Amino acid sequence: MVQGTASSVGKSLLVAALGRIYARRGVRVAPFKAQNMALNAHVTPDGLEIGRAQALQARACRVVPEVAMNPILLKPEADARAQVVVLGRSRGSRPARAYHDDKTELREVVRATLADLRSRFELVIIEGAGSPAEINLRDRDLVNMFVAHEADAPVLLVGDIDRGGVFAHLVGTLALLDDADRARIRGFVINRFRGDVTLLEPGLRALEQRTGTPVFGVVPYVPRLRLGDEDSLSLDDRARSRRARADELAIAVLRLPRIANTDDFDALAWEEDVVLRFVDHPSELDGADVVILPGSKSTIADLAWLREHGFARALAARAERGELILGICGGCQMLGRTIDDPLGIEATAGTSAPGLGLLPLRTQFGAAKTTRRVEVRSRSNDPDAGETPFGSFADAHGYWIHAGRLDVDGPGLFEVRDAVDSSFRPEGSIGTTAASGSVLGTMVHGLFENDEPRRQFLEALARTRGRRRAPAAPIPTLEHELDRFADVVEEHLDLGRIDALL
């Protein structure tokens, strides 16, 4: 098991790297995280919802992602409320205290799925969440030491030295654990180190002497690792990124309070001539080649936030100038005319919120949640609808994760089909007036992970600048990046010690 001193210390990617290392040896290996709190979700081939990180870990292990790898997914909607997804299906929204009251039942779900994986795989690599030293939650733990004891698993404790204070974090974590939990910690891993490791060695020796726990390795910081981030903590760094130069494309993504599926934009950010920034003030939209309204876990509340912070006026002015706006999932719904919530899925039952009015569509939330993989292609049966920045492409793939039904007046942006309906049908929306013709919306996540629609979209942005986009170096494949990081971890961790634990 891999646990951490805090969130965002690199647990997820270390699990992925270890999974790839053992898969390359021919071991049948699978990831497991009992409970994940994240708004970056993935749809499995059978239409169920798990955390995006576990899907990546499954890919690293060279196995198909499944709900047993992440039986509980929490998708925050407010500071003390979240949608609870159990075994891939939503159980609705729950306050934090009520969720903790369900822990007896949920522990049985965790036990059953963990036992199922262990029966089918030679090795299960378990990821913890946050820190095992959250002493206020110890008796209700579902994901850290509860799982370690249930699996009788040795634990590696990971600390992130790049953020500072790593020795205090490691020692402090051990100090707050009881004897039984402390005995589970078999080794430390220092992650994201930059510099001369010989200067760190006196601290490593002192750490081992003080705690009696060995350091299994120091993993260096890997620049431009294209594997994405599990949660929104990394958005702070992107928000502070520089503005684009004249020869670069500028993409502004609105940093909504409950932004979801930020991994939709990873492939864009990895392009050499693209500067992608997450912005939270209307002035930061100036000069952007495209403004993207992303997905949201609380669409109606985030729509109100847009109005309160002046984004509604800024987006309307942008549409009047014919400058490109793209909405994805919740962002697409916000760009429409109305959002109705008759059942109280997000707000008080009967709520009807006016949208931004830039797309000819209406949204009505319903009890059923759509989670499906979809095949996407450009429009082929509507020659009068006009060209879009996505050009012509086929054989792209993405997924839907949304509540509600869209009623669209006018042409769709794409055509899609899925396992439920094998024929292609219109999807998304295009603004139909002079003031909104540059406004596009789609409910499909993951579109930019496909090379062809991403390339055509960026080339269209370059043409609006009156220039041709220079041929860009291909983005390294996910397989390449998984192997690249696994190579680094294999070089810098003492795998002999890990083998001995196994």
Domain borders along the chain are 2-33+57-62+103-226+480-501, 232-464
pLDDT in the model for residue 163 = 87
Average pLDDT of the segment spanning 466-492: 88
Q: Which residues of 87-114 are buried (b: 16+ CB within 10 A; e: fewer)?
A: bbebeebbeeeebeebbeebbebbbebb
pLDDT of residue 381: 53
Which residue has 């760190």 as its token pair?
Answer: 200
Higher pLDDT: 137 or 209? It is 209
Distance CA 259, CA 254 (A): 8
Pick 103 or 327 by higher pLDDT. 327
pLDDT range class, residue 234, cuts 50, 70, 90: low
Report which of 59, 460, 454 is spatially closest to residue 267, judged by C-alpha positions: 454
- pLDDT of 242: 67
Alpha-helix residue ranges (DSSP H) falling in 224-298: 235-239, 266-269
Q: How confident is the model at residue 354 (pLDDT cuts 50, 70, 90)?
A: very high
pLDDT, average across residues 226-243: 60
> What is the mean pLDDT of the segment spanning 113-126?
98
Whether the pLDDT of residue 174 is over 70: the answer is yes
Q: pLDDT tier at 361 (50, 70, 90 boundaries)?
A: very high
Query: What six digits make up the tokens of 462?
Result: 């370059």
pLDDT of res. 465: 81
Query: Tell me, what's the pLDDT at 382?
Result: 56
Report pLDDT for 310.
Answer: 94
- C-alpha closest to that of 324 among 199, 448, 477, 430: 430
CA 141 to chain centre: 23
Alpha carbon distances (Å) from 412 to 19, 209, 375, 438, 493: 41, 65, 15, 14, 51
Mean pLDDT of the chain, nearest integer: 90
Q: Which residue has the higher pLDDT, 28 or 371?
A: 28
> Where does the pLDDT of residue 367 fall: very low under 50, low under 70, confident under 90, or very high at 90 and above?
confident
Helix residue spans in 25-63 (DSSP H):
52-61
Q: What pLDDT, on the 0 to 100 scale, is given for residue 346?
A: 77
Residue 239 predicted with pLDDT over 80: no
**What's the CA gap between 15 and 312, in Å, rounded?**
42
Considering only the C-alpha atoms of the chain, give the largest distance between any 2 of them, rounded to a whole number of Å. 74
Kindly state the average pLDDT of the residues 275-293: 94
Q: What is residue 101's predicted lDDT score, i.e. its pLDDT?
A: 73
pLDDT at 178 over 60: yes
CB 175 within 8 A of CB 207: no
What is the pLDDT averaged over residues 372-401?
82
- Do 2-33+57-62+103-226+480-501 and 232-464 fold alike per CATH? yes
Q: Which residues are catalytic?
A: 329, 445
CATH number, span 232-464? 3.40.50.880
Model confidence at 96, pLDDT cuts 50, 70, 90, reads confident
72-78 and 81-86 beta bridge pairing: antiparallel
Domain 2-33+57-62+103-226+480-501 is found in CATH 3.90.1150.10: no
Q: Which residues contact 239 (CB under 8 A, 6 or more apart)?
A: 255, 277, 278, 279, 280
pLDDT bin (cut points 50, 70, 90) of residue 63 is very high
Q: Which residue has the higher pLDDT, 126 or 83?
A: 126
| Strand duo 429-430 + 439-442: pairing | antiparallel
What are 19's strand-pairing partners?
none
What confidence score (pLDDT) does residue 436 get?
A: 64
Q: For residue 103, what pLDDT is reported? A: 82
Residue 207: its pLDDT value, please? 97
Q: Which band of pLDDT confidence, cut at 50, 70 and 90, is reported for residue 383?
A: low
Which pLDDT score is estimated for 50?
95
Q: What is the pTM of this model?
A: 0.87
Radius of gyration of the chain (CA): 23
Percent over 70 (pLDDT), the chain: 95
Contacts of 318 (CB under 8 A, 6+ apart): 285, 291, 325
How far is it, in rounded angstroms, from Cα 39 to Cα 52? 9
User: pLDDT band at 231, cuts 50/70/90?
Assistant: low
How confident is the model over 220-236, as a mean pLDDT? Answer: 72
- Residue 224: pLDDT band (50, 70, 90) is confident
Would you say residue 435 has pLDDT above 70? no
pLDDT band at 155 (very low <50, low <70, confident <90, very high): very high
Phi and psi (nearest 5°) for 16? -60, -45
More confident residue, 346 or 188: 188
Predicted local distance difference test score (pLDDT) of residue 91 = 86
